C-alpha cells in the first residue's frame, strides 16, 4: 500500500499530471516543459525531480525527458481516470457494474465526446446515428424505440440488434419493421446499457443506480477511439448473448405489430413515405 500511496501522491499534482501528459506525447527538454506549464524552470525542475525519483520519467542522453516503461504503463491508465473525474457527477448517478473490467480500464477512450443532457436530444442523436449508417449498424437496447428513418437502409448494410429476453412481442415487431428481415437479433437476460454504433460514430447511455437504462443523458462521439470502444463493447455483449428467440415471442416477422403495421410490413418491410422510410 505504501508503494501505491507514493504513486498516488505523485499523481496528486495537476502540474505533474500535465508534465506526464506532455512527455507522453514526445520527449521534451525542461525549458520546453516549463513553457507548456507556464511556470518557472525551478518549479518545473522540482516536479521533474519527483517524477524521476518515483520512476515515472527519466532523462535521456539528449537532455530530454521521457517516460520509463513503468511511467508509460501508469500513463496509459490516466485517460480513464481523467474521463471518470471530468464526468464525476454523471457517474455518481449511474452504475458501471455491467461493464466488463477490461472496458472500464479502457473507458478513457470515450474522452473525446459530446455530452447530451436531455432525453429528446439523446433519442434524436441515436436516430441520427441509424440514419447515417452505410456499412453497419449495431444496437443494444432493452425496448426498441419507434424511430423514423428519412432514407432507405442500405441493402448491403450489416445490422445486429441485442434485445432483452423478455422484450414484449409488439416491441419485437417494431424492431423488425424498422430494421428489416436481414437484421440479426440476439437476446440477453438483462440489458442495462443502451449502445448504438455505426462506422462513423457511436452513442452510449449507462444505467442509473437502479440498473435501468437512463435515456435522459448520455455520450455521443465521432472520434475513432470512442467509436472503437463502443464497437468492441457491442462485440463482447454479442458474443455473450443468445441466438434463441425469447419464450413466447412472435414467430411471424410482423405478427407483434398492430394490424395496419403488420399488413404494410408484410408487403414492403417498411412504410414508404416521400421516397424514404418511416415507421408508423
Q: Quick: pLDDT tens for 37-50.
A: 899 999 999 999 99
Nearest of 255, 222, 206, 8 to residue 103 by alpha carbon: 206
Going from the N-terminus, what domains does the chain have, and what CATH number goes with each? 2-85 (1.10.10.10), 97-278 (3.30.870.10)
- pLDDT single digits (tens) 157-170: 999 999 998 888 88
Query: 10 Å Cβ neighbour count for 182?
Result: 12
**Measuring CA to CA, how many Å separate 198 from each of 131, 160, 161?**
10, 11, 12
State the Cα torsion 26-29-35-38 to the nearest 10°: 90
Residue pair 83/91 in contact (Cβ under 8 Å)? The answer is no
Question: Model's pTM, two decimal places?
Answer: 0.78
> What crossing angle do the helices spanning 14-24 and 41-53 adopt, rounded to 10°?
80
Cα distance between residue 224 and residue 250, in whole Å: 38
Cα distance between residue 138 and residue 195, in whole Å: 8
Per-residue DSSP letter, 208:
B
Q: Tell me what pLDDT residue 247 has.
A: 59
Q: Tell me what pLDDT residue 236 has.
A: 97
Of the chain, the percentage scoring pLDDT greater than 90 comes to 52
Residue pair 177/257 in contact (Cβ under 8 Å)? The answer is yes
- Cβ-based neighbours of 194, under 8 Å, separated by 6 or more: 126, 140, 141, 142, 204, 205, 213, 215, 218
Q: Alpha carbon 135 to chain centroid distance?
A: 19
**Measuring CA to CA, how many Å separate 237 from each of 26, 145, 178, 195?**
36, 20, 22, 11
Q: pLDDT higher for 146 or 250?
A: 146
- Its sign, for the CA torsion 142, 190, 195, 181, is negative
Per-residue DSSP letter, 230:
H
- In the predicted model, is pLDDT for residue 259 greater than 50? no
22-36, 86-100, 135-149: lowest mean pLDDT where?
A: 135-149
Residue pair 130/147 in contact (Cβ under 8 Å)? The answer is yes
Amino acid at each position: 500500500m505504501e508503494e501505491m500511496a507514493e504513486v498516488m501522491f505523485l499523481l496528486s499534482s495537476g502540474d505533474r499530471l500535465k508534465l506526464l501528459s506532455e512527455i507522453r506525447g514526445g520527449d521534451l527538454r525542461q525549458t520546453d516543459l516549463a513553457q507548456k506549464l507556464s511556470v518557472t524552470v525551478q518549479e518545473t525542475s522540482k516536479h521533474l525531480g519527483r517524477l524521476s525519483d518515483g520512476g515515472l520519467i527519466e532523462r535521456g542522453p539528449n537532455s530530454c525527458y521521457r517516460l520509463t516503461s513503468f511511467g508509460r504503463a501508469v500513463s496509459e491508465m490516466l485517460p480513464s481516470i481523467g474521463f471518470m473525474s471530468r464526468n464525476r457527477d454523471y457517474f455518481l448517478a449511474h452504475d458501471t457494474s455491467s461493464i466488463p473490467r477490461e472496458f472500464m480500464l479502457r473507458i478513457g477512450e470515450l474522452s473525446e465526446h459530446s455530452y447530451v443532457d436531455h432525453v429528446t436530444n439523446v433519442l434524436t442523436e441515436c436516430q441520427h446515428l441509424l440514419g447515417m449508417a452505410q456499412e453497419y449498424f449495431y444496437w443494444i437496447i432493452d425496448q426498441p424505440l419507434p424511430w423514423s428513418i428519412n432514407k432507405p437502409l442500405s441493402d448491403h448494410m450489416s445490422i445486429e440488434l441485442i434485445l432483452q429476453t423478455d422484450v414484449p412481442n409488439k416491441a419485437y415487431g417494431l424492431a423488425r419493421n424498422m430494421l428489416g428481415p436481414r437484421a440479426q437479433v440476439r437476446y440477453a437476460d438483462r440489458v442495462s446499457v443502451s449502445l448504438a454504433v455505426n462506422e462513423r460514430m457511436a452513442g452510449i447511455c449507462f444505467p442509473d443506480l437502479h440498473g435501468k437504462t437512463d435515456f435522459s443523458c448520455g455520450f455521443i462521439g465521432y472520434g475513432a477511439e470512442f467509436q472503437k470502444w463502443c464497437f468492441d463493447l457491442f462485440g463482447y455483449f454479442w458474443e455473450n448473448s443468445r441466438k434463441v428467440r425469447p419464450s413466447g415471442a412472435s414467430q411471424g416477422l410482423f405478427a407483434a405489430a398492430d394490424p395496419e403495421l403488420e399488413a404494410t410490413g408484410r408487403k414492403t418491410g417498411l412504410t414508404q413515405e416521400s421516397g424514404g422510410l418511416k415507421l408508423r
